[in-house]
Amino acid sequence: MLPSKRLITTGKGLLRSGLVVRDNIFQNSLPVHNKVDLSPIKFPPLEESKDLDMLPILAINMGSNYWKTRLDTIDTLMSIADEIGKKFSTSGKFLMILQLLIKGLTDSNVKVALKAISALEKFIPMFKTGIEQNAQTLLTGLSTVLCSANATLKNKADILIDLLIDTIETIHLAQPFIHLILYGNSRARSIMITHLCGNWLFN
């Protein structure tokens, strides 16, 4: 019986020269410098890959069926933000990280949602400029949490809105607040009105 056939591939799983070899016959006949590495690809652990190039992978992980993966991904996102520093506020990748953290706010697992809120508590003051430019996106996510049946999540989201108001200029928040009061979820409307009145109209 003939040996089984397999494709020669590079470490990235791409077909090399379209060649088909029989087990190691052809591979062993190649000079050392021409031999192809057929070993499995080894990706570095996420916690060691604190680089913006990892964001597409982290986005996939935030959609994982395993809550622990989603939880760990939030930590990795914050590690990346910490390493880059304040200049990250003007990066084109800033919105992507913010959107992933907002996605965590509405996670079906309470631990993940609370982790996302804790991350944003640090994220908002760190990246004031970026948050100002994306206030509508963040407030929309928080207003969704205000409709949660979980009292702890609702309370944390309420506190986070206060932090947002204390951190960025009013001019960046007035329109998003009014938009959500007029067109947002009715269950969050009363809380939004309270914040609007308590922080601006009667101060």
- Residues in the chain, pLDDT under 70: 1-51, 85-92, 198-203
Query: What's the confidence (pLDDT) of residue 8?
Result: 38
**Based on the domain organization, do 26 and 79 belong to the same domain?**
no
Q: Residue 25 is part of which domain span?
A: 5-34
Residue 86 CB contacts under 8 Å (≥ 6 apart), including other chains? 126, 127, 129
**Based on the domain organization, do 22 and 100 belong to the same domain?**
no
Task: Count the domains in the chain.
Answer: 2
CATH number reported for the structural domain that contains residue 165 in this entry: 1.25.10.10
Query: What's the confidence (pLDDT) of residue 25?
Result: 41
Query: What's the confidence (pLDDT) of residue 118?
Result: 95
Domain contains 152: yes
Domain contains 183: yes
pLDDT (tens digit per residue) in 177-191: 888 888 888 888 888
Query: What's the confidence (pLDDT) of residue 87?
Result: 63
Query: What's the confidence (pLDDT) of residue 190?
Result: 86
**Based on the domain organization, do 127 and 155 belong to the same domain?**
yes
Q: Is the pTM of this model over 0.85?
A: no
Closest to 69 (Cα-Cα) out of 89, 88, 46, 50: 46
